[in-house]
Structure 1
């Protein structure tokens, strides 16, 4: 069953570190079979509070593979940059079971 990472990016504090994070994270995501479904496209609020500044959705084949990516040494390098570069909320979500 597919699994998804939803990243809600808030304030970017360091634009250069944010871009470096994006580059490293994209390589790590690809190495673990992830694929971007949404990467910062325009968002319109229809109901509720304003959205974060950027929304990213990445699909992985399974929740196990998603967790392997998140705990990987490749992604650890990106996480070091993230701490000072920007604020975010990160959510892991399981997809629907095949019918």
Structure 2
């Protein structure tokens, strides 16, 4: 689904998609984590001095379009999508 040969990267496998970063309250984390894709584990960090958590996950652009409205409904705020490319 994500893998494609990238000749500019000497034929190494490339994982292409987007990162989604968002904030969620602790009581919303179980619902939010169930929505996230299992491609790569989400990174979760408590925001210093706040009760919010920062969540970073990786998905395809198509998954992001489907996920963002669901994440908003689950209580996420400050959702940001930005490009991500990983080389193996």
* Bin for the TM-score computed over the shorter chain: 0.5 to 0.7
CA RMSD of aligned residues (A): 3.5
Q: CA deviation at 1:54?
A: 3.2
2:58 aligns with 59
Matched, 1:91 2:86: no
Cα contact 1:29–1:35 (8 A) shared by 2: no
* Residue 40 of structure 1: aligned partner: 45
TM-score (norm 2): 0.54
Q: Which has the higher contact order (CA 8 A, sep 6+)?
A: 1
Query: Structure 2 CA distance, aligned partners of 1:41 and 1:35?
Result: 19
> Contact between 2:22 and 2:80, CA under 8 Å: does it hold in 1?
yes
CA distance in 2, matches of 1:55, 1:93: 15
Q: TM-score, normalised by structure 1?
A: 0.50
Between the two proteins, the alignment pairs up a number of residues equal to 73
Per the TM alignment, residue 35 of structure 1 is displaced from its structure 2 partner at its CA by 3.7
Q: Are residue 7 (structure 1) and residue 22 (structure 2) matched?
A: yes
Q: Distance in 2 between matches of 1:37 and 1:89?
A: 16
| Larger relative helix fraction | 1
- Name structure 2 gaps, 5 residues minimum: 1-15
Q: 1:42 to 1:28 in 2, by over 3 A?
A: closer
Match of residue 25, structure 1, among 11, 32, 48: 32
Offset of residue 37 of structure 1: 3.7
